[in-house]
Structure 1
Amino acid sequence: MKRFVVAALLVVGITTYAQVKRESPQQSNIERMSPEERQEKQIKRMTAELNLNSTQQFQIKQLLADQSANREKKINRNDLSKAEKKDKRETKIRKIQENQKIMEEKMTAILSPEQFTTWKTNQEKIKQKVANRVKDKRDGTLRNEIEN
C-alpha cells in the first residue's frame, strides 16, 4: 500500500512538473517592458558601449522610435497557405535585410568610425547569440518530437 501511494505521488509530481512552462528571466523582463522602456535601455547600453554624446543619443533615439513604429505596423498574423507563407517569409527576409542596410548607413552617419566598428561587432555578437538560441530551441523541439 505504501508503495502504491509513493508511486502515485511520484507520478502526480512528475506530471505537474512537466506542465510548468519555464521562461528565461531575460525573456520575461522583455515582455513586461514597454517599447519606450526597451528603447531607453538600448540607448543606455549603447551610450555605455560606444561613448555616445548627447546629439548622437538623440539621433539614435529617433531612429529606434521610427524602427519600433514600423515594426508595430508590420505585425500581422494571417492564415495563409504554405506557398503564400513561404513567399511572405522571403519578402520579409528581403525587407529585413534592406532595413538593416539602411540602419547601417544611418549609423555610419551618426557614429564616429571607432564607434561604428564597436557597434558592428556588438551587432555580430547579438546575431550569433540569437542564432545559437534558435538552434538550441530547434534542437530541443526536435528531441521532444523524437521522444514523443
Structure 2
Amino acid sequence: MKKLIIAALLVVGLSAFAQDKKEMRKRPDRAEMEKLTPEQRNELMLKKMTLDLDLDVKQQEQMKQIIAEQTAKREAMRAERKANQEKNTDERFDMKSKMMDEQIAMKSKLKSILSAEQFEKWNAEKEKQQERRGNRRGGDRK
C-alpha cells in the first residue's frame, strides 16, 4: 500500500513539474534575447510585424528605419538610466515625459505608414503586450 501511495505521489509530482517546464518554454528568456545583437532583434521585430500586419515592401523599409531609430533611442536611454541610478523626482518626471513624447511620435509615424486596419492590429497587439507586462509585475500599471 505504501508503494502505491509513493508511486502515485511521484507521478503527480512529475506531471506537475513537466507542465511547469512547458509553460516556461513558451517564451524565450531575457538572457537569450540579450544574446542577440540589436540588428538581429530589429530584424525579428520587423518580421513579426510583417506577419502580423501584412506589410508590403515599402512599408517594411519604412518600418525598418523606425525600428532602428527606436532601438538606438532606447539603448541610449537605458545607458543614461544605468549611469544615473539615483535620480530625484524631477529628473524621473523629465525622463518619463521624454519617453511618452517618443511614444507619441512613434504612433504618428506609424499612422502615416500603415493602413487604418494595420494600425488597429498594431494598436491591439500593443495593448495585449501592456496587459501581459502588467500581469507579470503583479498588477496592472498603466
Regarding TM over 0.5, the answer is yes
Inter-partner Cα distance in structure 2 for 1:65 and 1:121: 22
Q: Cα offset for 1:26?
A: 2.5
Can you give the 5+ residue segments of structure 1 that lack an aligned partner in the other structure? 1-23, 137-148
Cα pair distance change 1:57/1:87, threshold 3 Å: same
Q: Would you say how many aligned residue pairs link Structure 1 and Structure 2?
A: 111
Question: Are 2:44 and 1:41 aligned?
Answer: yes
Q: Cα offset for 1:33?
A: 0.9
Identity %: 35
Inter-partner Cα distance in structure 2 for 1:102 and 1:109: 11
Counterpart of 2:17 in structure 1 is none
Can you give the 5+ residue segments of structure 2 that lack an aligned partner in the other structure? 1-26
Cα RMSD for the two superposed structures: 1.9
Greater than 4 Å deviation, 4+ residue runs: none
Counterpart of 1:78 in structure 2 is 84
Equivalent position SS for 2:29: helix
| Greater alpha carbon shift after TM alignment, 28-37 vs 50-59 | 28-37
Cα pair distance change 1:120/1:26, threshold 3 Å: same
Cα pair distance change 1:89/1:53, threshold 3 Å: same
Inter-partner Cα distance in structure 1 for 2:51 and 2:118: 11
Inter-partner Cα distance in structure 2 for 1:31 and 1:44: 18
- Please, what TM-score do these two structures have when normalized by structure 1? 0.69
